[in-house]
Chains A and B, each alone.
Chain A
Amino acid sequence: MIEVINLSKSFQNNKAVNNINFEIGKNEIIGLLGPNGCGKTTTIAMILGLLKPTKGKILINKKNIENHRIELLHKMNFISPYIELPKKLTVKQNLIVYAKLYNVKKIDERIEYLSSTLRLDKIINSLTGELSSGQKNRVSLAKSLINNPSVLLLDEPTASLDPETGNFIRSFLEDYIKQKNISILLASHNMEEVKRLCTSVMMMKNGNIIDQGAPSELIKKHGRKNLEEVFLKLARTEHEF
């Protein structure tokens, strides 16, 4: 469970995140939407403990990330298209390295499970750098699930993927959340993906959460046909903060 309380982050005079509050319960996927530079990545980085908040706190399973960073990171993980795994290591070697780093007990069993569910069997001994972007994405997803996390942060997990691979990842995440006690924060620019996966959506702009609710509720509330139109309306409207 993630609780974000009065969270702010400033870089000199620039408020990247401004006093935001939200909660993600067990078995919940919450979407984080907003234009580039609105504060999504900064928020995720603070939840991961990579960035120190200027104000406010983040509780993971009721514990403050600032005080229990290492302990909490054991049960968290992250995937982003902007972060890669070492290219000169095979898929299996990468998974072994991260399994060790996360102190996973039954490493072979875990890798076998992820390999079969994420269709990595045929590429498990290939060099990671030689894989297609769709294959790399599935490997990164396997790495993010290696420690069986109870908190998963997904930053554009299907960016630049072909429709088939994108659909495979979405279906996988849908099934995964049904089986596991997991809280997921999904930052994405793909509105269909957000609508399909998320129970609730937060719209961010200039570091603020300007609206939130279930995708269908937001569509209805703003009188638009789909989530993309809601996004465009909110992105183009001037807000007073």
Chain B
Amino acid sequence: MYGLFLRHFFLIKSSFPRILDLIYWPSIQIILWGFISKFFSAYSDYYNNTVGIILTCAILYDFLFRSSISFNMLFLEEIWSRNFTNLFIAPMKISEIIISLVFTALIRTLIGLVPAILLTSPLFGISILNLGVPLFFLFLSLYIFGITLGLFVSSGLIRFGPSFENIAWSSLFLLAPLGCIYYPIEILPEFFQILAKGLPLVYIFDETRNILVNNFVNFENILYAFYLNAIYLLIGISLFYFSFSMARKKGSLINMGE
């Protein structure tokens, strides 16, 4: 596990453009949404006393986005460098691969997110830390969901190879409208509301808004998000094992990178 972590640590450490890339996008995202939320705060009654809602949601969504993409990137890096087969003939259990990717993805995500969080205070006078202790649970819940999405996409990469790469990039954009990141679930048409209720994102972002607007924590939302996360994570891990088994039958582990 430590070996796989080291492989990506060496890669990031030696490449300034990679570090810059990790920091650049979250920072741009936060600055953009910071100005949009300033505009809303000036012209909307709803957001009148809660300037930070959109910005806080943007930071949380970016955390989710980065964690999922980081997980996928660790896989894609191996495919692009044609190192994939070397890893799968190394004596690593699937569980060890998953655990090392989960921790390495977390570090990649934090490298990008911490500077973005630090930027919000001097630029917009907002600190995401105002969410208090529940922030930890919200981050944890988002990270689990991000990793789960990463597992789904990586399973596709193992089974179908690099042709699955586009799905890796677009997976989160597909879920964003249903996740109700910036608006309450009631905004969605009824049919989409039914689908959205099956996603932990709805409960996480609903609770974020609730804490900021009402200054009150509804742990039911947080717990419900964790229940859903547990189900999806279990499916994600099972799918990863299944994909590996299918790839061994179909031979896709040998032709990876072609």
Contacts and interface: CB of A to CB of B under 8 A. Distances in A.
Interface of A: 11, 41-42, 45, 48-52, 70-71, 73-74, 76-78, 80, 82-90, 93, 96-103, 143
B86 A89 contact: no
A142 to B, nearest CB: 13
Interface string B87-102: 1111111000000000
A102 B253 contact: no
B15 A88 contact: yes
Contact of A83 (B83, B249, B251): B83
30 contacts: A11-B251, A42-B251, A45-B254, A48-B89, A49-B89, A50-B89, A50-B248, A51-B248, A52-B245, A52-B248, A52-B249, A70-B91, A73-B89, A74-B91, A76-B89, A80-B85, A83-B84, A83-B85, A86-B7, A86-B81, A88-B11, A88-B15, A89-B11, A89-B14, A90-B14, A93-B6, A97-B7, A99-B3, A100-B6, A101-B87
A50 B14 contact: no
A164 to B, nearest CB: 26
Given A71-B91, A78-B89, 14 more contacts: A11-B251, A50-B248, A52-B248, A74-B91, A78-B86, A83-B83, A83-B84, A83-B86, A86-B11, A89-B10, A89-B14, A93-B6, A97-B4, A101-B3
Interface of B: 2-4, 6-7, 10-11, 14-15, 77, 81-93, 245, 248-251, 253-254
B3 A100 contact: yes
B244 to A, nearest CB: 10
Contact of B86 (A42, A71, A85): A85
A96 B86 CA distance: 14
Contacts of A99: 3
B10 A102 contact: no
B7 A89 contact: yes
Contacts of B89: 48-50, 73, 76-78
A41 B254 contact: yes
Contacts of A83: 82-86
Given A83-B82, A84-B83, A73 B90 contact: yes
